[in-house]
Structure 1
Amino acid sequence: MTGAFDGRSILVTGASSGLGAAAVRRFAAGGGLVHAASRDQAKLAEVAASCAGLPGEVRFGHLDVASRDSCRDAVAAAVEAYGRLDVLVNNAGRHDFRRTADVTEEEWDHDITLNLSGAFHLSQAAIPHLLETGGNIVNVASVAGVMGEAYSAAYTAAKHGIVGLTKALAVEYLDSPLRVNCVCPGGMDTPQAQTISVPDGADWELIMRVAAKRGLMSADSVAAVVVFLASDDAASVHGSIQMVDHGHLAG
Structure 2
Amino acid sequence: MRFKDKVAIITGGGTGIGAAVARRIAAEGGKVALVGRRPEPLQAVAEEIGAAVLAADAADTASMKVAVTAAAEQFGGIDILIANAGGHGVGPTLSMSDETWDLAVRLNLSTAFVSARETLPHLIRAKGNIVVLSSIAGLFAGPDAAGYVTMKHGCIGLAKSLARDYGRFGVRTNTVCPGWVTTAMADEQMEMLVEKYELNSVAEAYALVTKDVPLQRPASADEVANAVCFLASGEAAMINGAILTVDGGASTVDLPTLAFAD
- TM-score, length of structure 2 as denominator length: 0.86
Distance (Å, rounded) in 2 between the aligned partners of 1:157 and 1:210 = 25
Distance (Å, rounded) in 1 between the aligned partners of 2:211 and 2:164 = 29
Q: Percent identity?
A: 37
Correspondence for 2:30 among 26, 29, 32: 32
Name 2:131's counterpart in structure 1: 138
Q: Which amino acid aligns with 2:115?
A: L
Name 1:217's counterpart in structure 2: 219
1:244 Cα offset (Å): 0.7
Correspondence for 1:73 among 46, 66, 77: 66
CA contact (8 A) 1:66 1:110 kept: no
Moved over 2 A (4+): 71-74, 196-199, 201-204, 207-213
CA RMSD across the alignment: 2.3
Q: Which amino acid aligns with 1:17?
A: T
Distance (Å, rounded) in 2 between the aligned partners of 1:211 and 1:140 = 23
Indicate the SS of the match to 1:181.
Answer: strand
CA contact (8 A) 1:186 1:210 kept: no
Distance (Å, rounded) in 2 between the aligned partners of 1:9 and 1:141 = 22
1:96 Cα offset (Å): 4.2
Deviations 1:144-179 (A, max 9, x none): 011111111011100000100111111112322110
Counterparts in 2 of 1:144-163, with a 5 A limit?
144-163=137-156
Deviations 1:17-51 (A, max 9, x none): 10000000000001101001111211111112222
Counterparts in 2 of 1:40-79, with a 5 A limit?
40-51=38-49, 57-79=50-72
Correspondence for 1:166 among 138, 155, 159: 159
Indicate the SS of the match to 2:238.
Answer: coil
CA contact (8 A) 2:9 2:82 kept: yes
- TM-score, length of structure 1 as denominator length: 0.89
Please identify, of 179-188 and 211-220, the stretch whose mean Cα deviation from structure 2 is larger: 211-220
Q: Which amino acid aligns with 1:134?
A: K
CA contact (8 A) 2:12 2:84 kept: yes
Distance (Å, rounded) in 2 between the aligned partners of 1:20 and 1:102 = 32
Distance (Å, rounded) in 2 between the aligned partners of 1:235 and 1:220 = 22
Indicate the SS of the match to 2:10.
Answer: strand
Deviations 1:118-150 (A, max 9, x none): 211111111111010010000000000111111
Structure with max Cα Rg? 2
Structure 1 segments unaligned to the other structure (5+ residues): 52-56
Q: Which amino acid aligns with 2:174?
A: N
* C-alpha spacing 1:112/1:126, structure 2 compared with 1 (3 Å): same
Instruction: Please say if 1:181 is aligned against 2:174.
Output: yes
1:99 Cα offset (Å): 2.9
Name 1:243's counterpart in structure 2: 245
1:100 Cα offset (Å): 2.4
Structure 2 segments unaligned to the other structure (5+ residues): 198-204, 254-262
CA contact (8 A) 2:210 2:217 kept: no
CA contact (8 A) 1:65 1:118 kept: yes
* C-alpha spacing 1:113/1:202, structure 2 compared with 1 (3 Å): farther
